[in-house]
Amino acid sequence: MQRARILSTGSFLPDRILSNEDLSQFSAEARKLIAEKTGVQTRRHAAEDQCTSDLAVAAARACLRRIDFPPDRLEGIVLSTSSPDRMQPATATRVQHGLGADNAFAFDINSVCSGSSFGIAVVDSLIRSGAFRTILFIASEMYSRILSPRDFSTYPFFGDGAGAILFRAEPGCTGGVLHSCLGTDGSRHDTICVPGGGTMLPFEKMPGPRSAFFRMKGEEVFAFTLDKGPKIIRRLLEEAGVAPGEVKRFICHQANINILHGIAGQLGIPRERFAVNLDRYGNTASASVLIALDEAVAGGELVPGDLAVIAAFGGGLSWGANLIRI
Amino acid sequence: MHEKILTTIKSGIAELFPDVGKIPITAQMRLGDIPDYDSMAAVNLQVFLEERFPLKVSLDMLAEDMTLGELIEYIGRYVKSN
């Protein structure tokens, strides 16, 4: 059987850094709550002339450059984004053009913050099918453009960024994507959403501009994540026959430090084995896991042969986990 | 003046908390009765009030047990004395 082996990783964060103190639209007492509630200290915001596909191209180039992989040898590009360039076409098409990956198909998936885990499972399946050998998976998000700057329940907590993984088929390989688990509870599709601009609430029927902004029910999401996060990681490891002690790094969606600590506590795993970048980048939605994975690989925390668990949760509501061997 | 303040607050609650739907917004309503009202939402209400009225409101004040009537009273007093 051929597996999807990880050939390279890459990431890109925009230059502009905003500290909590820079968010002067909120009172000083409110700004103090940001780090206290979530652990976010700073976040990156894209430049005025950038859009989601620009971040994706930059992360993809970093990934390909690391192993001198020519873009025209890519067979496919799968892009996870919940903050696309435009309603259509797929943001991945502009990425394909920007990379010069002329021989690759390109399409988007949107599983909101779970898109990283869902995307890895999709790319793994495409490669395992035998139809494709080399696929670039990218997650790119620009939430600074879909949040109301006056909404304290969202604006301070998110940031912009992108990450990429290059997968290649390798028969007989013992590494790569070993197992994936995915889940969705569509009865809670309203918990995290951008209400306006789609067919349910077209622009001309929106009661006001706020309907075009992202919103979420924070407390409900917090409880959902602490329920589903540990469960799916346990299920993933049990189905794969791997003990938690064998896993070098747990790379979970970077939504909130208290969620990461809660998951670690429920699983009885030391917090130090969980990757953290939300303090520097905020919640970069589906890109958060790929950025953290790239940092772990580039920083030498994960080396060939190491096992890592990826887990993500988000709008839908949805949740997913993947067991990978570097 | 209190009627005018209530009208402004009603429009703010409808804008900030769309899930309030058809729940009647009255002076007796507690902030905690607003669907999804929490410490984050209190900041949004704080931003709204400070934009619409010439005043400062602390987050402690916008606790869940405060009624809209008490809030209106506070705003009325603040506006009058400034």
Q: Looking at the predicted structure, is the pLDDT value of residue B69 above 70?
A: yes
Structural domains of chain B, ranges and CATH numbers in brackets: 2-81 (1.10.1200.10)
Rounded Cα gap, residues B59 and B39, in angstroms: 8
Per domain, the residue ranges of chain A are 2-173, 177-325
A249-267 pLDDT tens trace: 999 999 999 999 999 999 9
B82 confidence band (pLDDT: 50, 70, 90): low
Interval A284-299 mean pLDDT? 98
Q: Among B64, B55, B49, B62, which residue's Cα sits nearest to residue B16?
A: B49
- Same topology for domains A2-173 and A177-325, yes or no? yes
Q: Is A24 exposed, middle or buried (0-12, 13-18, 19+ CB in 10 A)?
A: exposed
Set of chain A residues whose Cβ sits within 8 Å of the Cβ of B47: 25-27, 150, 152
Give the per-residue pLDDT at B10: 86
HSE at residue A155, side-chain half, CA atoms within 13 A, is 22
Set of chain A residues whose Cβ sits within 8 Å of the Cβ of B39: 33, 37
Residue A311: partners with Cβ closer than 8 Å, 6 or more residues away: A117, A229, A232, A233, A236, A250, A251, A252, A253, A263, A289, A319, A320, A321, A322
Is this prediction's pTM over 0.90? Answer: yes
Q: Are A142 and A55 in contact (CB under 8 A)?
A: yes
Look at B43 and A219 and tell me if their CB atoms are within 8 Å: no
Fold of A177-325: Peroxisomal Thiolase; Chain A, domain 1 (3.40.47)
Letter for the amino acid at A311? A
Q: Return the structure tokens found at A44.
A: 């990156």
Of A196-200, A295-299, B23-27, least confident by mean pLDDT is B23-27
Look at A37 and B40 and tell me if their CB atoms are within 8 Å: yes
Supply the residues of A annotated as catalytic: 113, 253, 283
Q: Note the ipTM here.
A: 0.80
Nearest to A25 among B38, B39, B47 (CB): B47
How far apart, in Å, do the first and last CA atoms of chain A sit? 18
Give the per-residue pLDDT at A1: 72
A2-173: CATH homologous superfamily?
Thiolase/Chalcone synthase (3.40.47.10)
Rounded Cα gap, residues A324 and B19, in angstroms: 41
Average pLDDT over chain A, rounded to whole?
96
